Amino acid sequence: MRQTAQEQNVPLIDLNAMSKTLFESMGEQPSLLAFAHFPAGTFPGRAEAIADNTHFRPFGAYEVAKLILKGVRDAKLDLAKEIKPAEPVFDPSKPDAYTSFYWPESPGRDATKPDGN
């Protein structure tokens, strides 16, 4: 991809390099919170644990989206002018804490509380 971008004289957003920095900065165990890792029984009809290192949870997708914004800015693409000026520049070596991220549960999850709670 780097060679092709150079040969074609087109900008490159190197998500491979940036995400490597991001996930290494998170650390091995905390980085699992960015991916679809869930204990057994987390989802209805799914008794087994999920350990998927390919698909992101909302937190991981949000962090990668910030990498894309950084790449757009760094490459000085015309699209960069559409980024809100107040949007901070993201440093992949300083990822957000999972505990600071909020994403509401999917409506597909049963949020009914049992009587007495």
Residue 31 in domain: yes
DSSP labels for 90-110?
Answer: P-TTSPPPGGG---PPPTTS-
Shortest CA distance to 21 belongs to which of 29, 31, 11?
31
Position 33 pLDDT exceeds 70: yes
- Give 51's strand partners: 37
**Residue in this structure with the two tokens 């002018």, named with its chain if needed:** 81
Residue 108 in domain: no
pLDDT at 69: 97
Contact in structure between 90 and 22 (CB atoms under 8 Å): no
Residue 87 in domain: yes
Residue 52 in domain: yes
Shortest CA distance to 91 belongs to which of 60, 56, 66, 61?
66
Q: Band of the pLDDT at 116, cuts 50, 70, 90?
A: low
Number of domains in the chain: 1
Residue 30 in domain: yes
Residue 113 in domain: no
Contact in structure between 93 and 23 (CB atoms under 8 Å): no
Q: Note the pLDDT tens digit of each residue in 69-105.
A: 999 999 999 999 999 999 999 999 999 999 999 998 7
Q: Band of the pLDDT at 113, cuts 50, 70, 90?
A: low
pLDDT at 46: 84
- From CA 113, how far away is CA 18, in angstroms rounded? 41
Which domain, by its residues, includes 50?
2-100
Residue 36 in domain: yes
- From CA 53, how far away is CA 23, in angstroms rounded? 12
Residue 112 in domain: no
